[in-house]
A and B are shown apart, each in its own frame.
Chain A
Amino acid sequence: MSIPGQQAPGGPEPILKVKGLVKHFPITKGLLRRQIGAVQAVDGLTFDVLAGETLGVVGESGCGKSTMGRLITRLLEPTGGTVEFQGKDITHLGVAGMRPMRRDVQMIFQDPYSSLNPRHTVGTIVGAPFRLQRITPEGGVKKEVQRLLGLVGLNPEHYNRYPHEFSGGQRQRIGIARALALKPKLVVADEPVSALDVSIQAQVVNLLDDLQTELGLTYVIIAHDLSVIRHVSDRIAVMYLGKLVELTDRSSLYTRPMHPYTKALLSAVPVPDPGRRIKRERILLKGDVPSPISPPSGCRFHTRCWKATEVCKAQEPPLVALEPGHQVACHHPESVPEPVAAVSTV
């Protein structure tokens, strides 16, 4: 599928191209491990990540965000579709084939407690990328590790300490230093701040922001917190049950969400001002997210959507650009602009 409007003429080149990405986890039963079904965690994602931008990915728990992140960093093997990084197809590369790619694509993990090996010192953890990639940085591994620790706001003298001696926020900084060690081009951050205290979240988010400016990084940031996503992202992708439902730049998503699901999500963001809270329309979705083992037919959101009609049950809405740079997969989108108005607003 072509993506009109996403590559504005003269705009930055896509660094990552994802087409029809699918991941089904088989469910097996019995001694012979006969497959009786599949968890359709990610079911046909198509999007680009432009060089230098931050793409935010939001969605409820279990919608496939993390699976998507692990697919594009190739920690998981896609069931279908293609992942292209800097023009090279990396969809089915093995461990050895991916090794050179690993320098350019790095990951920041969610849980700062489980993402650092408790038996390794900080120096070993942040120095591991150099050892694994057989790179000797200028001035030696130790010096480079200390520089990285300084870069993420940690004391370089803490080189010999163990992870348990650090707080959650400091641990996440260690994880960031490890991800940045090889000067990657693309960093995928899977819920980088959701395990941290709110006050620490701000520090880490701002650190990620500063590092992006300093090192010219491209981010894919996966989160369920809409405030975090809004703060960091240039463009935002909204996922529901393994599919993209809306993909657009930050301001149009927050001001004029077109997909009913996005609208419901945004209405759930807490408002700190009680005066405004009363006036706001709060959309409460009925029921739970359906099981990804047997997702609903047609539009996957139709079981909970207040605008659903017959066509939603029967036909799956394609992800199309309803205005330049604003892709939505919905039969009954909200606030669709007039054809003329569309051009002027972008």
Chain B
Amino acid sequence: MTAPLHDTGAETAAVDVTAGAPAEAIEGRSPWRIAWIRLKRDKLALAGGVVVLLLILVAVFAPLIVSVLGHPPNEFHEEEIDPLFSVPKGSWGGINSDFLLGVEPRNGRDVFSRIVYGARVSLLVAFLAAVVAVVLGTLFGIVAGFFGGWVDTVVSRLMDLLLAFPQLLFIIALVSVVPDSLWGLTGSGVRMGVLIVVIGFFGWPYIGRIVRGQTLSLREREYVEAARSLGAGRGYILLRELLPNLVAPITVYTTLMIPTNVLTEAALSFLGTGVKPPTASWGDMLSRAVDHYEADPLFMIIPGLAIFVTVLAFNLFGDGVRDALDPKGSR
């Protein structure tokens, strides 16, 4: 007989340790709370998060902000335009106390108001497209990973197909054939709806792949077997055992996907296949600025900066979230 098996001294010592733990409220730190504590230490991510929060507030309260600080986004102010060169009067793109970021060349619309309303379009499309991608990606990914076999083969090949698809060309072609009213929406609503669905649809394989991979590894964990040995069915295992462990990677990927969607929306609007004018959009403003960049460079810089700051803020925040949720420490 080897000695260690009778080493009861170790046992009593260990029991004492547990019993000697502080008797007052013992509260567990959930993995989410630990992630939040880590995130709070990451100053850069926190700064990104604050900017993201501000952007969301700006988008939500756009009408209020514009009514206080600007002019209606589609109101023409020809009195601000130099009739000879059709550029804003004064230097710096016509910035003055009335027009905080100047006016648009030719028609004199308030750039500040259009940036604020542009945030709405940008974030709405980016968020909702991310939601579409997350829902589809999670659903297909978890099913492919959990069931395996031919289901996995079909879903995986579908994802490969979509990833190889020239999505930008497809969207441009699609937008030109979409009718003016669809799903009870008209005008810009239709365009936004189409953008959301299409960007989301081409985005889900990225999430799907990650969720599938994670599911493949998670389903082999012993706690899944433990649940089965207690009589759990597939639904319980998918929803109660696997899904909670997938929330972290999904969250990370969503926050990193939103800036990509912002860029895609801007690119499509720049190409004229995004939201319909006169709805304000950053990409549309950039494309208008191309004609005037020599005379009025600020009109190009401002929407460019808006896109840049948004993407940077989301990326910094997303990176911070990823570090905080640290997939390696998920044990």
Chain B residues 144 to 203 lying within 8 A of chain A, measured CB to CB, are: none
Q: Does B245 contact A (CB under 8 A)?
A: yes
Q: Does A88 contact B (CB under 8 A)?
A: no
Q: How far is the CA of A111 from the CA of B229 in the complex (A)?
A: 15
Q: Is the CB of A114 within 8 A of B221?
A: yes
Residues of B within 8 A of A61 (CB): none
Chain B residues 8 to 57 lying within 8 A of chain A, measured CB to CB, are: 8, 10-11, 14-15, 18-19, 21, 23, 26-31
Q: Is the CB of B3 within 8 A of A154?
A: no
Residues of B within 8 A of A75 (CB): 225, 228-229
Residues of A within 8 A of B21 (CB): 155, 157-158
Q: Is the CB of A128 within 8 A of B230?
A: yes
Residues of A within 8 A of B19 (CB): 155
Q: Which of B7, B230, B241, B247 contacts A133, CB < 8 Å? A: B230
Q: How far is the CA of A170 from the CA of B228 in the complex (A)?
A: 22
> Shortest CB–CB separation between residue A276 and chain B, in angstroms?
12
Q: Does B4 contact A (CB under 8 A)?
A: yes
Q: Is the CB of B225 within 8 A of A109?
A: yes
Q: Does B328 contact A (CB under 8 A)?
A: no
Residues of B within 8 A of A121 (CB): 28, 30
Q: Does B278 contact A (CB under 8 A)?
A: no
Residues of A within 8 A of B2 (CB): 227, 269-270, 272
Q: Is the CB of B231 within 8 A of A132?
A: yes
Q: Which of A99, A132, A202, A228 contacts B11, CB < 8 Å? A: A202
Q: Is the CB of A272 within 8 A of B3?
A: yes
Q: Is the CB of B231 within 8 A of A117?
A: no
Residues of A within 8 A of B1 (CB): 227, 230-231
Q: Does A98 contact B (CB under 8 A)?
A: yes
Q: Is the CB of A109 within 8 A of B10?
A: no
> Shortest CB–CB separation between residue B14 and chain A, in angstroms?
6
Q: Is the CB of A116 within 8 A of B223?
A: yes
Known: A75-B228, A102-B229, A231-B1. A120 touches B331 (CB 8 A): no
Q: Is the CB of B26 within 8 A of A95?
A: no
Chain B residues 273 to 306 lying within 8 A of chain A, measured CB to CB, are: none
Q: Is the CB of B14 within 8 A of A169?
A: yes
Residues of B within 8 A of A216 (CB): none
Residues of A within 8 A of B228 (CB): 75, 95
Residues of A within 8 A of B229 (CB): 73, 75, 102, 105-107
Q: How far is the CA of A82 from the CA of B156 in the complex (A)?
A: 38
Most-contacted residue by chain A among B1, B18, B21, B227 (CB, 10 A): B18
Residues of A within 8 A of B30 (CB): 121, 162
Chain A residues 61 to 100 lying within 8 A of chain B, measured CB to CB, are: 70, 73, 75, 95-96, 98-99
Chain B residues 251 to 290 lying within 8 A of chain A, measured CB to CB, are: none
Number of A residues contacting the other chain (C-beta, 8 Å)?
58
Q: Which of B4, B8, B230, B233 contacts A198, CB < 8 Å? A: B4
Q: Does A118 contact B (CB under 8 A)?
A: yes
Q: Does B69 contact A (CB under 8 A)?
A: no
Q: Does B232 contact A (CB under 8 A)?
A: yes
Residues of A within 8 A of B14 (CB): 153, 169, 200, 203
> Shortest CB–CB separation between residue A148 and chain B, in angstroms?
14
Q: Does A110 contact B (CB under 8 A)?
A: yes
Q: Is the CB of B15 within 8 A of A161?
A: no
In this complex, what residue of A is CB-closest to B27? A160
Known: A114-B221, A154-B18, A169-B14. A175 touches B231 (CB 8 A): no
Q: Which of A98, A113, A201, A202 contacts B231, CB < 8 Å? A: A98
> Shortest CB–CB separation between residue B38 and chain A, in angstroms?
14
Residues of A within 8 A of B79 (CB): none
Residues of B within 8 A of A256 (CB): none
Q: How far is the CA of A281 from the CA of B200 in the complex (A)?
A: 70
Q: Is the CB of B5 within 8 A of A119?
A: no
Q: How far is the CA of A110 from the CA of B226 in the complex (A)?
A: 11
Q: Is the CB of A162 within 8 A of B222?
A: no
Residues of A within 8 A of B308 (CB): none
Q: Which 3 pairs of residues, A with B, have the shortest CB-CB distance?
A: A161-B28, A115-B222, A119-B244
Residues of B within 8 A of A (CB): 1-8, 10-11, 14-15, 18-19, 21, 23, 26-31, 221-223, 225-234, 236, 241, 244-245, 247, 330-331
Beyond A119-B247, A164-B331, A231-B5, list 5 extra A-B contacts (CB 8 Å): A160-B27, A169-B14, A199-B4, A206-B5, A227-B1
- 7 of the cross-chain contacts (CB-CB < 8 Å) are A75-B225, A132-B230, A155-B19, A162-B29, A202-B6, A231-B5, A269-B2
